[in-house]
Amino acid sequence: MDDSEFLKPNFDGMREAILSAEIEEANALKEQLDVLADDFQGFDDSYDKEPWIALLGAMKKFEDRVANFSILIFFYGYMARTALNATEIVDACVYAAAGLELCKKHDDLEGVRSHIQILCDIATTMDAYRQAVKFYQLAWPEATAENDDTLKMLTDLAETNEDPGLNFLTDKRPSSFKYFDPELGGEEYTIRVVMRAMGIGRQAALKYKRTADHLREEGALDK
C-alpha cells in the first residue's frame, strides 16, 4: 500500500490542487529565469548577479517544500542555469548532474541534451574549454568545427588555453534527490501533502501520520 493512501478521501482533490499549484509555481519561477536570461549580456565588470542569487534562493525554497518530486526532473536544469549565472558554480554542477542523471533514467533525450549543454556552459565560464568541447559534442553529436561556429570557437580556445583540470560531472546530489527513491519519496510526499492540506508544520504532520499508521495497524483504517 502506498503511504499516501492513509489520507482521507477528501484529500484526493487537495492532492490534485497541490500538484497544479506546484506546476504553476515552477513555471512562474521559470518565467523569472527567462526574463533574467533575456537581459544577460555576459560576465563583464558591470555584471549584477544579485537578481540571480535572489532567484536561486526562491528556487531552493520551492525545492524544499515541493511534494511532487517529478517536477524536479526538469526543475533541476532551471536551478543549474540560475546557479551558473549567480556564479554559484558548485550548485550549478550539482543540479546539472542531478538533472542529467534523472533525464537519462527516464529516456528524456531532449532533457539529457539540455543538461549537457548547461555543463558545457559551466565549463566555458570556468575557462575549461577542452571539457566544454567534449560536453558540446555530446550535446550536439552532428556538430563539427566546419559546420558549427560555437564548436569552432570552443575548439580554438581549447587549443590556445591551458585546461584548469576541473571536474564538472560531480557525484554530489541535491538533498531532495534522495526522494526519487520510491519508499523515501512516497513517505515524504505524504508528509508534505498533509502539511499543505492541513496548514500545519512538519512535526504536526508527522504526528498525524504516526496516528494514522497506528490506527491502520490496529484495524481502525483500511490497509
Domain positions in the chain:
3-126+166-217
pLDDT averaged over every residue in the chain = 90
Q: Among 109-113, 115-119, 205-209, which stretch is predicted with the lowest mean pLDDT?
A: 205-209
Q: Tens of pLDDT along 113-168?
A: 999 999 999 999 999 999 999 999 999 999 999 999 999 999 999 999 988 888 89
What is the percentage of the chain residues whose pLDDT exceeds 90?
73
Q: Taking residues 26-48, what's their average pLDDT? A: 95
CA dist list (Å): 105 to 53, 65, 70, 139: 30, 24, 12, 17
| DSSP structure class, residue 69 | G
Angle 72-85/50-65 helices, nearest 10 degrees? 160
CA dist list (Å): 117 to 29, 79, 124, 137, 186: 20, 14, 10, 9, 31
Cell of 95: 543540479
Question: Of 19-33, 36-50, 182-196, which one has max mean pLDDT?
Answer: 19-33
Higher pLDDT, 8 or 110: 110
